[in-house]
Amino acid sequence: MTYIGRFAPSPTGPLHQGSLVAAVFSFLDARAHQGIWRVRIEDLDPPREQPGAADAILRTLEAHALLWDEDILYQSSRLEAYAEAMTALRHKGQAYDCGCTRREIAASGLAGLEGPVYPGTCRQGLAPGRVPRALRVRTHDDPIGFHDRHHGLVSQCLGREIGDFVIRRADGLTAYQLAVVVDDAFQGITHVVRGSDLLDSTPRQIHLQRLLALPTPVYLHHPLVLDGNGDKLSKQTHAPAVDSTAPLTNLAAVMGFLHLPLPPDWRDATPAALLDHALAHWPFRT
C-alpha cells in the first residue's frame, strides 16, 4: 500500500517546539515507509488566525529541511466540499439542527470525556420558537475501536462518552472533526501521525468516515511535549516560537525527545543530514 501522510497545522501562530515534534514525527514516518508527506493548512477559524502565520509555518518547515511533496492544501478553499458532506449526512438522517446554547448543555449535568455530553434535546426536531444554531451528527453506543500504532487498542462509546457532536458551529464555521475527515479522504491520506491530544477525537472521525463511506487511515498518536507544569506546549499556554535561525539545535532537541541518537558531529551537520541520521534509527516501521 502506498503511504501518504500529512502534517496539518492551524495558522493561529508560529510553530513551537511541540508542533515541530509533530512535524518531524510525521515527516520521518512517511520517509521511513518511502511515502508521500503532504502539508495541509487548517485555516478554518479566521477569528483565531494570525496574519502571516501560514507563511511563517511553511518557512520554518523549510528551514528545518522538512520539505513537503506536492501542493499545499488550504482548508479555506474546501468550504463547498464540507457543505456537500453536511448535506449528505442530512439526507441520510444522520445530522440535525440544534438550537441549544452551551449553558443549556452544561446544565444537563451529563459529564463526558471532553466536557458536558449533549443530552439529545433537539434529536427529534427543534422545539417551537427555537432557531437552528449548530449542526450535529447522531452517535450511538456501539463501541468504535481502532488499533493505534503507539497506544494499541482504543475503544470509545460515542453516545455515552461524547454525545451527538457538532459538525457546523453556531458561528457558521465548519467543525474540525468534519473538515479533517473530508480532507484526509480527498488527499488520499493512508496514515495519520499526530499528537496524543487528538487520540480521543479519532472515534468521532471514524464514525464520520463510516457514515460518509470514506476510508479509515492507520493512526499513530505520539507523546506530547510538556512544559514545566506538565501541560501540553501550545499557543494557548504561550509556548515560544521555534527559532528558525537555529535549526540544528531545534532538531537535536526533537531527536532527544524522540530518543533518537545524535551523530557525534551533529553541530557541523546540515538539517537534512540530521533528519537522515534520525531516519536511519526510526523505530516505527510497522
- In this structure, the chain runs to a length of 286
Q: Check residue 232 and give its pLDDT.
A: 66
Residue with cell 427543534: 126
Q: How far is Cα 156 from Cα 158, in angstroms, rounded to an integer?
A: 6
Q: Check residue 108 and give its pLDDT.
A: 80
Dihedral (CA of 224, 228, 229, 235) sign = negative
Q: Check residue 286 and give its pLDDT.
A: 66
Q: How many CB atoms lie within 10 A of CB 93?
A: 8
User: Which grid coordinates are listed for 129?
Assistant: 420558537
pLDDT below 50 — which residues of the chain? none
Q: Check residue 229 and give its pLDDT.
A: 61
Residue 149 contacts residue 220 (beta carbons within 8 Å):
yes
Residue 11 sits at the vertex; the CA angle it makes with 10 and 13, to the nearest 5 degrees, is 115
Residue 232 has φ and ψ, to the nearest 5°, of -60, 135
